Structure 1
Amino acid sequence: MKIKEVGLEMTRGEFVKSLGISVGAIMATWCIGGLTSCMNADMPAPGDGGVDFTIDLEASENKALLTNGGWLIKNSVVIARTNSGDYVAVTQVCSHEGRKQVAYRASKNDFYCNAHGATYSISGKGTNSAGSRGLTRYTTQLDKNSLRVFG
């Protein structure tokens, strides 16, 4: 495409070069400007307030949470009943590479990502180098047979 103006003529590429902007700089600017398009869409921002749901503990699909060491995944959140009987909830999305592979390990009373071996404490704190950025932890609130997960 040629651009004509008052006797000047140049191609689009010549115009961009005249500004001293490389394609890489343009792409980097676009990516930074639209940061959400460069992030893994499945990775929730810490404390973004986007989680708020209730689990009916009497429903058969949630029966794992009636036993110490039981756990399940709902809405990309891992909800576990620890070995001591406390309810905890963390994001299922591993902070190491953004994969939805975090699970609860009752045998070690921790969270584990089977993609690269990242490990996390019950509080969501990373306990090895792969898990060093930790997990987003959500608040749990028990009311009779309902467990609210939010944060």
Structure 2
Amino acid sequence: MWALIALLAGLAYQTFQVTDVRADYASYRSDTATAAANASEDARLTEQKLRRNIDQVRANAVDQKQKDDALAALQRADHHSVRDQTRRLLADKADLNTRLAERGKTINDLVDLLAELRSEADGYAGELAAALTESRRAGFACERSYDAVTMPP
């Protein structure tokens, strides 16, 4: 009879231990699932933030391109204005030639050369300014993209 009581007590103790282990295991699974869900949510939020940053960089690059294009158009207009002034100068040259005839032909040649050089230099300056502006804009966009991706969350 004592053996039966001891056996029943041992069985009850083991049943209690199994129930405790099952409860611990259920708690562990719940904690693991919660941690996985939190990590997934954190990763999703970080990805959204990075995507918003990249989208903002793209929008800023588009805005900057519009501003740079407007500036390039203004520079082209200035170039055309200088070219028109040069043409007027060359048109007035005939009038000037009559007044400068006594000074010799070298002045006439020099005026032609200077007018042509001024026009060409202005044209090249406009082309270089547009190329440098585009290069600068691309560099800034690249830098902002890198910063947006490497920023700590």
Shorter-chain TM-score: which interval?
under 0.3
Relative CO higher for 1 or 2, CA cutoff 8 Å, sep ≥ 6? 2
More helix by share: 2
Is the radius of gyration larger for structure 1 or structure 2? 2
TM-score, normalised to structure 1's length?
0.26
More strand by share: 1
